[in-house]
Copies of this chain bind each other. A is one copy, B any other.
Amino acid sequence: MRKVVSSGQPTIKEIAKRLNISVSTVSRALHDHHSIGLRTKARVQQLAAELGYERNQTAIFFQQGKTFTIGILLPELSEAFFSSAISGIEDTAYSNNYTVLLGQSHDDEAREKQIIQSMKQHRVDGCIVSIGKNTRNYEHFEMLRQAKIPVVFFDRIPDLPNIHSVSCNLESGTVQAVDFLLKKGHRVIGMINGPEQLVASKERAAGYMRALHKHRLKYDPELIVSADLTAAGTAEAMKQLLSLKRKVTAVVTFNDYVAMDAVQYALKQKLEINKDITFVSYANTPVSSYTAYPPAASVEQFPYEQGQAATNMLLSILNGDHDFNDYQQLIMESQLVLHT
């Protein structure tokens, strides 16, 4: 039999042989088991230290059927929102002695499936996933369910019945945003919204309307325009808004990128930002405050905290704090942040 690997790393066996005791005694000594004499314990631990012994995790993972590893699947690692989220996930995983296995789907369903497959094969204890834009088929998650690997969905959540999830309620944040503008005296407030099929767009629109309703103002459909989030689309949307009879003095934009494009357009029209027109946006990027004309306020979605929350949820599931069928859905509140 060929020795596959000789990594030179000392094993429990070696220690046992050198000390003329059994491996089980060594193992227990290393775990500070009560049934091992103080003398033997000390001898074992000392020799282990001398040899630079380190437990072979792969062996333990295999033997225990648990890896203390969580898989995290996101569409795009380099997007600011997600990278903050990863940061939050890694931090809380780390402090609970879990490790993080990473994969990005690039919004490609096939790759998403392969990564899930790979994570399943790696025997991760659980997953945190944000699905791709184009994912329509959820059979890969069904496989995880059958393998009894719990999944917490996060931010981008599939339309499935029984799932754990963490997401951010943009509606309440939008209410706050519109409230803010109303209190500043604005009465004609436009909104550049995203594609209508997105949940995120629906929540924004709902928040907009709820805020108006709260203030007993009537809703003018012309004031919400859907755009495709490109610079050109945003310019077009701005043009529409500015051509209305009622003079729009404030605009809620879908995200910071749209806000920046909208600002550009407004400047070209010789409008003075924060005087002729005020923008409020959603915080997708930490650098928006560095721009020449940052939005007056933005709705923060706390990606880092969402990552933390998702991880905590997963860990509590892994700890068996809940029934397997007790599906949890945490909806975090977004919050308006003023850019003074």
Contacts and interface: CB of A to CB of B under 8 A. Distances in A.
Contacts of A261: 290
Contacts of A146: 52
A316 B86 CA distance: 28
Contact of A121 (B55, B104, B257): B55
Contacts of A94: 103, 111, 115
Given A80-B78, A101-B101, A257 B91 contact: no
Contacts of A61: 58, 61-62
Interface stretch (A5-13, A209-217, A323-331): A5-13
A102 interface: yes
Interface in A1-23: 4-5, 7-9
Contact of A57 (B52, B63, B121, B260): B121
B5 A64 contact: yes
Contacts of A55: 121
Contact of A90 (B102, B256, B291): B102
A290 B257 contact: yes
Which of A57, A79, A121, A143 is packed against the most chain B CB atoms within 10 Å? Answer: A57
Nearest to A120: B54
A62 B62 contact: yes
A312 interface: no
A285 to B, nearest CB: 5
A37 interface: no
Contact of A56 (B9, B91, B101, B123): B123
Contacts of A67: 58
Closest CB pairs A-B (n = 7): A5-B65, A292-B292, A83-B83, A260-B290, A62-B62, A78-B87, A58-B62
Given A9-B147, A57-B122, A292-B264, A103 B90 contact: yes
A7 B91 contact: no
Nearest to A86: B77
A65 B4 contact: yes
A247 interface: no
A287 B5 contact: no
A66 interface: yes
Given A264-B292, A285-B287, A291-B290, A86 B90 contact: no
A56 to B, nearest CB: 7
Nearest to A258: B290
Interface in A279-300: 285, 287-288, 290-293
Nearest to A64: B4
B100 A65 contact: no
Interface string A120-133: 11110000000000
Contacts of A287: 256-257, 260, 285, 287-288
A338 interface: no
A76 interface: yes
A208 interface: no
A78 to B, nearest CB: 4
A99 to B, nearest CB: 6
A292 B263 contact: yes
Nearest to A146: B52
